[in-house]
């Protein structure tokens, strides 16, 4: 008996109306191995059929009533122990209804097949051939409604799920960057970043991982060989501490912050404006501002104040002097890790693998092991990065290009089957090196990558933008949107201080 899945089934029936509504269609819960689990499930359905909702905390009242009506002593003790142990577990459960439903169907199918197999074995041993044949012909497998054939106008839950699940953010970003891509960072999505070498893909994936945890999601982060475990952990700790473990990055620096162009040119007449000084005259063009020009203007205008106070805002970068900081040591890192753990313990797992060793099937097997052993079911799965995954055994005979296509198809399947957001990155072609902005022609290996993602974003940066700490993201493919590759958001960064995102503006 799989006590883990039966415990999860009982929790779902007690706590989730959506789950019990779907399980009610199975009519196969007699295949639960535990008699107490069967009894509890029957109570849940009695309550659901009367009130059209899961019993929740009322299960205690139901139990008390059953005791008064003559529940057997051994049943009372067993169910009391179950409910006592379920109490804290249910409160702490991070509930993914669709995933548990899929696991429930699979488990009940297994249980039913075991029962059928035993009946067949016993019938054959007794030479009851006709009865065995009849049993086989009458076998009807456990199933929910066929997901490939539905009546789109049948139920309220169908309509609600189509909207609410598709809009369930598992990562939330603030300000302009949030407006730019939050709609795509949802359960069931498959989002990728396309960029040239050393553009900060891994840093941005790390930012997405940490934001997901802060959003309340669980994250599985697979390092496929771009970095060692120690390198990835070091980067995470630098992110938390916002300072480097290298002395040259801890000296006094200028860090980019968001400002308003109208404030910098003095064209702002809003009463909410922070100061009265300007950096440039109105004839200055924003695209002509270099790091040297900006620093000269800042030095010449010591009383200048950045401003983001009004709706008439046009984003610009300002460089703010930051004092030197202490070099990050393991003790300083541990302090930050301890603070983070108090808030977000158990929310993230890191799985690191050597280059040319990790496949999508391996990822799926690891996720399944975490589910079974630790009840860890991620809302976000991050793969850094897809191009260095190896093909699954069933695709090794394909040529390299078709192997890559198979990998991306299976990453998409992973997001669908496990009902999670999958994030990854991919290398842009050499053609991107000569461009200020990546477009759809800059794919590497196979353009079918665009067909499998729900969204893909380009990461762009000119040499001057890198000096200023500006990264530009543009839309390449967005499945649920009228996307425009010229639509861009600017992200301010200071990677030497572990800051992939300081601010953003359009």
Distance CA 154, CA 173 (A): 35
Residues counted in the chain: 506
Token look-up 């280059």 returns 355
Q: How far is CA 49 from the centre of its chain?
A: 35
Helix (H) or strand (E) holding 503: strand 499-505
Q: 120 and 127 in contact (C-beta within 8 Å)?
A: no
Q: 217 and 171 in contact (C-beta within 8 Å)?
A: yes
Distance CA 92, CA 86 (A): 10
Q: 444 and 460 in contact (C-beta within 8 Å)?
A: no
Helix (H) or strand (E) holding 254: strand 253-260
Per residue in 333-361, pLDDT (tens digit) is 999 999 999 999 999 999 999 999 999 99
- Contacts within 8 Å (CB) and 24+ apart, 403-408: 404/445, 404/446, 404/449, 405/446, 405/448, 405/449, 405/452, 407/359, 407/360, 408/446, 408/448, 408/449, 408/452, 408/453
Domain ranges in the chain? 3-138, 186-247+328-505, 252-322
Sort 339 into a burial class: Cβ within 10 Å, 0-12 / 13-18 / 19+.
exposed
Q: 323: which 2 tokens?
A: 């004092």
Sign of CA dihedral 32, 38, 44, 49: positive
Token look-up 């493919």 returns 477
For the 186-247+328-505 domain, the top CATH level (class) is alpha beta
Q: What is the pLDDT of residue 87?
A: 59
Q: How far is CA 476 from CA 118, 186, 442, 457, 479, in A?
A: 55, 18, 10, 5, 10
Q: How many CB atoms lie within 10 A of CB 506?
A: 14
* Bridge pairing between strands 190-195 and 253-260: unpaired
DSSP SS3 for 232: helix
Per residue in 448-487, pLDDT (tens digit) is 898 999 999 999 999 999 999 999 999 999 987 777 777 8
One pLDDT digit (tens) per residue for the chain, 506 residues: 467 788 888 888 998 888 898 888 776 677 888 888 889 999 999 999 899 899 988 998 999 998 988 888 888 888 887 787 665 555 445 567 888 888 888 888 888 888 888 888 888 888 888 887 777 766 655 554 455 555 666 666 656 665 665 578 999 999 999 999 999 999 999 999 999 888 899 999 999 999 999 999 999 999 998 899 999 999 999 999 999 999 999 999 999 999 999 999 999 989 999 999 999 999 999 999 999 999 999 999 999 999 999 988 999 999 999 999 999 999 999 999 999 999 999 999 999 999 999 999 999 999 999 998 888 999 999 999 899 999 998 888 888 889 999 999 999 999 999 999 999 999 998 888 888 999 888 877 778 898 999 999 999 999 999 999 999 999 999 987 777 777 899 999 999 999 999 999 99
* Bridge pairing between strands 470-478 and 455-460: antiparallel
> Among residues 272, 177, 226, which one has the least CA distance to residue 474?
177
Q: What is the pLDDT of residue 266?
A: 94
Sort 477 into a burial class: Cβ within 10 Å, 0-12 / 13-18 / 19+.
buried
Distance CA 374, CA 441 (A): 43
Fold of 3-138: DNAb Helicase; Chain A (1.10.860)
| DSSP track, 209-273 | HHHHHHHT--EEEEE-SSS-HHHHHHHHHHHHHTS-SSGGGSS-EEEEEEEEHHHHHT----TT-
DSSP SS3 for 31: helix
Q: 112 and 32 in contact (C-beta within 8 Å)?
A: no
């Amino acid at each position: 008996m799989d006590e883990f899945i039966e415990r999860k089934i009982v929790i779902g029936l007690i706590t989730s109306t959506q789950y019990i509504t779907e399980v009610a269609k199975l009519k196969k819960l007699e295949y639960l191995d535990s008699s107490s689990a069967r009894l509890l499930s029957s109570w849940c359905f009695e309550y659901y059929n009367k009130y059209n909702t899961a019993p929740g905390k009322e299960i205690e009242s139901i139990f008390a009533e059953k005791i008064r009506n003559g529940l057997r002593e051994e049943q009372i003790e067993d169910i009391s122990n179950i409910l006592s142990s379920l109490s804290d577990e249910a409160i702490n459960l991070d509930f993914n209804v669709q995933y548990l439903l899929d696991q429930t169907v699979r488990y009940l199918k297994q249980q039913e097949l075991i029962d059928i197999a035993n009946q067949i074995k016993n019938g054959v041993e007794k030479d009851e051939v006709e009865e065995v044949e009849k049993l086989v012909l009458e076998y009807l497998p456990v199933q929910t409604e066929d997901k490939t054939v539905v009546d789109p106008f049948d139920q309220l839950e169908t309509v609600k799920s189509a909207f609410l699940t598709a809009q369930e953010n598992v990562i939330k970003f603030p300000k302009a960057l949030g407006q730019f891509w939050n709609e795509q960072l949802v359960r069931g999505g498959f989002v990728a970043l396309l960029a040239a070498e050393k553009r900060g893909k891994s840093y941005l994936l790390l930012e997405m991982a940490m934001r997901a945890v802060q959003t309340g999601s669980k994250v599985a982060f697979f390092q496929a060989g771009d970095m060692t475990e120690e390198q990835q952990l070091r980067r995470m700790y630098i992110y938390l501490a916002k300072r480097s473990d290298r002395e040259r990055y801890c000296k006094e620096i200028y860090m980019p912050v968001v400002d308003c162009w109208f404030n910098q040119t003095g064209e702002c007449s809003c009463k909410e404006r922070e100061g009265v000084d300007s950096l440039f005259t109105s004839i200055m063009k924003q695209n002509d501002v270099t790091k040297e020009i900006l620093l000269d203007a800042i030095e010449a205008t010591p009383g200048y104040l950045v401003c983001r106070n009004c709706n008439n805002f046009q984003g610009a970068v300002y460089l703010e002097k930051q004092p030197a900081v202490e070099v990050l040591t393991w003790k300083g890192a541990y302090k930050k890790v301890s603070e983070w753990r108090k808030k977000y313990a158990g929310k993230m797992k890191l799985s690191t693998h050597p280059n040319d060793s990790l496949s999508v099937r391996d990822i799926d097997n690891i996720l399944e092991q975490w589910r079974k052993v630790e009840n860890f079911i991620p809302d976000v799965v991050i793969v850094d990065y897809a191009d260095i995954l190896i093909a699954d055994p069933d695709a090794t005979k394909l040529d390299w290009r078709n192997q890559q296509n198979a990998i991306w198809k299976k990453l998409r399947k992973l997001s669908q089957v496990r009902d999670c957001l999958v994030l990854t990155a991919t290398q842009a072609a050499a053609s991107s090196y000569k461009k200020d902005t990546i477009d759809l022609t800059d794919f590497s290996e196979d353009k079918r990558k665009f067909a499998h993602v729900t969204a893909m974003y380009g990461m762009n940066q000119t040499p001057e933008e890198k000096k200023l700490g500006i990264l530009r993201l543009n839309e390449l493919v967005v499945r649920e949107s009228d996307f425009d590759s010229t639509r861009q958001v600017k992200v301010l960064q200071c990677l030497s201080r572990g800051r992939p995102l300081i601010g953003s503006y359009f």
